[in-house]
Amino acid sequence: MQTSSDEVLISRIASGDRLAMQVLFARHHVRVYRFVLRLVRNEATAEDLISEVFLDVWRQAAKFEGRSAVSTWMLSIARFKALSALRRRPEQELDAEMAEAIEDHSDDPEVTLAKKNKSAVLRDVLNALSAEHREVVDLVYYHEKSVEEVARIVGIPEATVKTRMFYARKKLSELLKERGIDRGWP
Amino acid sequence: MTSERNDLDGIEELLPWHAAGTLSRRDAERVEDALNRDPELARRFDMVRDELGATIQLNESLGAPSARAMESLFAKIDAEPKRRRVSLGLGARITEFFAGFTPGAMAYASAAAVLAIVLQAGVIGVLVSKSGSEGGYETASAPTTAPGVGAFTIIRFAPQATMDDITKFMEMNHFSVVSGPSGGGLYKVRVAEAPLSSGDFNTLLQKLQGDKVVGFVAPTR
């Protein structure tokens, strides 16, 4: 069976092909949803946003120039939508979210370790990173984006992408240390 | 010593992308060399791999959106004004052309193209030499278009040429596609803004025939 490339689907979508839109949605909606969810941390908001992201894809397909991968382009749109939604969110919600993140620190390191294995603690601290750091970590590790692609999605220079990733990893080490895991780096 | 340290720092920054497999081959080789030479760097790479695994697990645990997201999207799309069919750009047309092949067909087409290039080179050589000073040969299969100013060829791109190769080839030579693809994937291409002398045209055709991007080329009007 022949699988159409994303670029071919976009060119069909530009001509108003609804089926091509369904294929593109089926192929990418879960990853786009997870990317947005990690930024906005609210499932209902993330669901609303992905339909907005794909609606933009439908509307702007004719303008897509192929200078980046389709998935990179969609993540750029998703990021813009997520940040706009965060700006609209009431402050009380953000405070509750902060409290949730801070709560993670309340366990004594020994208790934390006793409760969870190292991998689970690592997942916990990945959640405790700032939105900026979470974003770059997810793009590199989960969405498999190159330095250049991350730079395009986030809108920062490539050198900054590398530095930001480095500092995100450094922060991970600090958070792990607070929970009793010393990686001996940095 | 300092420059070696700086180099290692630069390499260390690349470790996350190396673990994710998204580095260029050249950078990946640089990182591999450094990992083989430096046990401390190799230890840090293990940390990166742990982070990679945990990030994937974390994201995979997030679940998927409900059917509501898709329903909402297509309700909005249905409410959009009907769209006029747009003509696709060269890039999209070429992508569509290549996407139409199955892997087996691509392999067959590549083999056929190699043979065709050898045969076509001979055919074109004969055709061009026969045409002499009469200003070129027009094949029966050439797309019929309104006469325009300039010099024109029909070109079939080599099946193994990538989109990138073709785009670079067109840009570098300042060529533009007039029409196509017609049956057999032939494009009518403007190769000069003004008519060329038969000598210049023959030289250009020989050059194009030698280009790996071109599977077949012949003059047309």
| Alpha carbon separation from A131 to A136, A137, A138, B206 (Å, rounded) | 9, 10, 10, 58
Give the gap in angstroms from C-alpha A115 to the nearest C-alpha of chain B.
17
Confidence of residue B138 (pLDDT cuts 50, 70, 90): very low
Q: What is the pLDDT of residues B112-127, one digit of tens each?
A: 544 444 444 444 344 3
Residue B101: its chain A contacts at CB < 8 A? Answer: 2
Contact criterion met (CB < 8 Å) for A8 and B86: no
Dist CA A128 CA A105 (whole Å): 9
Position B208 confidence tier, pLDDT thresholds 50, 70, 90: confident
- Taking the CA of residue B73 and the nearest CA in chain A, the distance in Å comes to 5
Q: Which residue of A has its CA nearest to B102?
A: A2
Instruction: Mutate one of B6, B17, B84, B86 to test the A interface: name it (highest A CB count within 10 A).
Output: B17
- The residue that leads in pLDDT, A105 or A146, is A146
Is B56's CB within 8 Å of A29's CB? no
Instruction: Report whether pLDDT(B109) > 80.
Output: no
CB atoms within 10 A of CB A92: 8
pLDDT at B141: 40
Residues B177-204 have a mean pLDDT of 78
The number of C-beta contacts closer than 8 angstroms across A and B is 134
**Contact across the interface for A16 and B85, Cβ inside 8 Å:** yes
Which of B20, B47, B82 is closest, CB to CB, to A183?
A: B47
Per-residue pLDDT of A118-132, as tens digits, reads: 888 999 999 999 999
Q: Is B85 within 8 Å of A15 when comparing Cβ atoms? A: yes
pTM metric for this prediction = 0.63
Contacts of A172 in chain B (CB under 8 A): 51
* Helical residues (DSSP H) of chain B, grouped into ranges: 2-20, 25-37, 39-60, 67-79, 90-99, 103-131, 163-173, 198-209
Residue A47 neighbours by CB distance under 10 Å:
20
- For tokens 């990030």, what's the residue? B55
On the question of a cis peptide bond just before residue B181, with omega within 30 degrees of 0, the verdict is: yes
List pLDDT tens digits, range A10-54.
999 999 999 999 999 999 999 999 999 999 999 999 999 999 999
**pLDDT category of residue B104 using cuts at 50, 70 and 90:** low
**Mean pLDDT value across chain B:** 74
3-state secondary structure A29-54: HHHHHHHHHHHHCCHHHHHHHHHHHH
